[in-house]
Amino acid sequence: MTTTDQLSRTVTLLIWPPQRIVSVVPSQTELLADLGLEDEVVGITKFCVHPRKWFETKRRVGGTKTLNFEKIEALKPDLIIGNKEENERVQIEELAKRYPVWMSDVATLNDAYDMMRRVGEMTGKDTEARILIEAIQILFAERLQSSTVSRPSPAAYFIWRKPYMIAGGDTFIGEMLRVAGFKNVFEHKSRYPEITLEELAEAGPEVILLSSEPYPFAEKHFAAFHEVCPGTKIRLVDGELFSWYGSRLLHSAAYFEALQKNLT
């Protein structure tokens, strides 16, 4: 089978559907599980924490940016599934010399739906993927579009501390902020730039969202933000529900709805 990935690369599968899959992206690993590929997935990363059973039993091949080529070689994969942002280009290019490597590139909900559809087709699970996509679309329509936020709250979404880093407008998190009813005060910035607390104060967010990943923010970090933005609402948020673009989206709409209610 010959297909294309989201980087417009041609990927040829010598075995279809693939029988030995290595997933090197957590959100896509969970997607493969929800598509019913228990036996086919033979390798995951140390960050692929969902489903828990897989995290405890599947062979781990390093981190998303520190892949162990020897461990991957031992698994003899006939397909590796990665992502442009989460994996290192040099490592992916080296792996692609030896194995079929399919890469995603997700910045919007439509990109996520497209990724799920293509992964479903590529793994022989196109029906399961279609059902999953439709379920997610219905949940977003019912829980968010039917209760549209009258005025999006200006917000800043932090992913890291020391240095402080936020999500810019051209990221999947940026897309999720819009969907969830927020206006990203750093919409004009690209990717995940460093900012100072002085810049945060100048941007004037009404809400500061501190993510659980990749940096595990906690309430003990609130004080620094209160000092420069007194009166601003601060919330700890589940980073997976803002940044995972696979089947975890099944839980995002209800979470965003509850978050907005918590802010009123």
Using the structure block, give the residue that is written with the tokens 């520190």.
66
**Average pLDDT estimate for 229-236:** 97
Q: Compute the distance between CA of residue 142 and CA of residue 140 in angstroms, rounded to an integer.
A: 6
Is residue 215 pLDDT above 80, yes or no?
yes
**pLDDT at position 150:** 67
Is 120's pLDDT higher than 60?
yes
Residue 106 pLDDT greater than 60, yes or no: yes
- 22-32 pLDDT, tens per residue? 999 999 999 99
d(CA 225, CA 233): 10
Asked whether 166 and 69 are in contact (CB, 8 A), the reply is no
Q: Which helix (H) or strand (E) holds 101?
A: strand 101-104
DSSP readout, 25-78? SHHHHHHHHHTT-TTTEEEE-TT--SSHHHHHHSEE-EETTEE-HHHHHHH--S
The structure's pTM equals 0.94
Exposure pattern of 96-135 as b/e (b: 16+ CB <10 Å)? beebbbbbbebbbbebbbbbbebbbebbbbeebbeebbee
SS3 221: helix
**Domain 149-263 is classified in which CATH homologous superfamily?**
Nitrogenase molybdenum iron protein domain (3.40.50.1980)
> Residue 263: exposed, middle, or buried by beta-carbon count in 10 A (0-12, 13-18, 19+)?
middle
What pLDDT, in 10s, does the model give residues 132-153?
A: 999 999 999 988 764 455 689 9
Higher pLDDT, 143 or 204: 204
Per the CB < 8 A criterion, the answer to whether 43 and 72 are in contact is: yes
Q: Considering just the CA atoms, what is the radius of gyration of the chain in Å? A: 19
Superfamily of domain 2-107: Nitrogenase molybdenum iron protein domain (3.40.50.1980)
Mean pLDDT, residues 62-85: 98
3 state DSSP class of 97: coil
Q: For residue 53, which amino acid is it?
A: K
Per-residue pLDDT at 62: 98
Model confidence at 264, pLDDT cuts 50, 70, 90, reads confident
CATH 3.40.50.1980 residue window(s) in the chain? 2-107, 149-263
Distance between CA atoms of residues 236 and 248, nearest Å = 18
